[in-house]
C-alpha cells in the first residue's frame, strides 16, 4: 500500500467536504451519519493517472504548504455538455423499427417534433427525418397519426418542455 503524507489528501467525490484534523497516527478519518469511519487514505489514489508516480502527481496538485490554493485543471461548476440521445447511446436508426421512430412523432398530428424539442444533433435529426420517410413509404409507420399500440410507451422527451429554446430562424 502507498504511504500517505500528512499534507496530501485525494478525495474521489468533489462534494465531500468533511474532514477532521490529522491525528497523530497520520490517517485521515471522518465520521459520517451512522458512526461509520471513512478512510481518506484509501480513496486518494483513485484519481491518479496510470503510469505516473504518485509522488509526482501529488507535488503537481498539492503544494508543500497546506494553506496554499490548489490549481484545478477544470471548472467544477461548469455544466456538462449536452449530448444527443442517439449519439450518446450509440443507437442506429432503422426504418423497420417503427416503435422507436414513433417516439419522435406527435400523437395528434403525426408530425415529427422539431430538433430543439427532441434534443437531437443536426446529423441525427436529418437521419431521423429520412428514416421516418422511408418507414412511412415502406408501410411500417402510419402517415397521419401515431399507432394506438404505441401511445403508452415511455417518453424520451417532453414535447411541452423543449430541451433547447426555439431559435426562430
Distance, CA of 50 to chain centre = 23
Q: Average pLDDT in the 33-47 region?
A: 47
Residue 158 cell numbers, joined: 417532453
Q: Which three cell numbers stand for residue 38?
A: 471513512
How many other C-beta atoms are found inside a 10 Å radius of the C-beta of residue 165? 7
pLDDT tier at 112, thresholds 50, 70, 90: very high
Q: How many other C-beta atoms can be found within 10 angstroms of the C-beta atom of residue 89?
A: 8
* CATH topology classification for 85-150: 30s Ribosomal Protein S18 (4.10.640)
| pLDDT tens digits, one per residue of 120-149 | 999 999 999 999 999 999 999 888 877 777
Q: What is the pLDDT of residues 20-29, one digit of tens each?
A: 444 555 554 5
Does residue 132 sit in helix, strand or coil? Answer: helix
The pTM for the full model equals: 0.50
Where in the chain are all domains bearing CATH 4.10.640.10?
85-150
All three cell numbers of 1, joined, read 500500500
Closest CA to 66 of 21, 130, 30: 21
pLDDT confidence tier of residue 167, bands split at 50, 70 and 90: low
Amino acid at each position: 500500500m502507498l504511504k500517505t503524507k500528512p499534507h496530501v489528501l485525494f478525495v474521489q467525490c468533489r462534494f465531500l467536504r468533511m474532514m477532521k484534523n490529522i491525528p497523530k497516527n497520520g490517517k485521515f478519518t471522518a465520521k459520517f451519519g451512522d458512526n461509520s469511519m471513512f478512510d481518506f487514505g484509501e480513496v486518494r489514489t483513485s484519481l491518479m493517472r496510470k503510469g505516473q508516480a504518485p509522488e509526482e502527481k501529488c507535488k503537481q496538485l498539492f503544494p508543500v504548504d497546506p494553506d496554499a490554493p490548489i490549481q484545478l485543471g477544470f471548472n467544477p461548476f461548469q455544466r456538462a455538455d449536452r449530448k444527443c440521445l442517439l449519439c450518446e447511446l450509440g443507437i442506429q436508426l432503422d426504418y423497420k423499427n417503427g416503435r422507436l421512430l414513433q417516439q419522435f412523432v406527435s400523437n395528434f398530428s403525426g408530425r415529427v417534433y422539431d430538433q430543439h424539442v427532441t434534443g437531437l444533433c443536426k446529423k441525427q435529426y436529418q437521419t431521423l427525418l429520412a428514416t421516418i420517410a422511408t418507414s412511412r413509404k415502406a408501410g411500417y409507420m402510419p402517415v397521419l397519426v401515431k399507432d394506438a399500440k404505441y401511445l403508452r410507451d415511455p417518453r424520451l422527451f417532453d414535447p411541452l418542455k423543449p430541451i433547447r429554446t426555439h431559435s426562430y430562424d
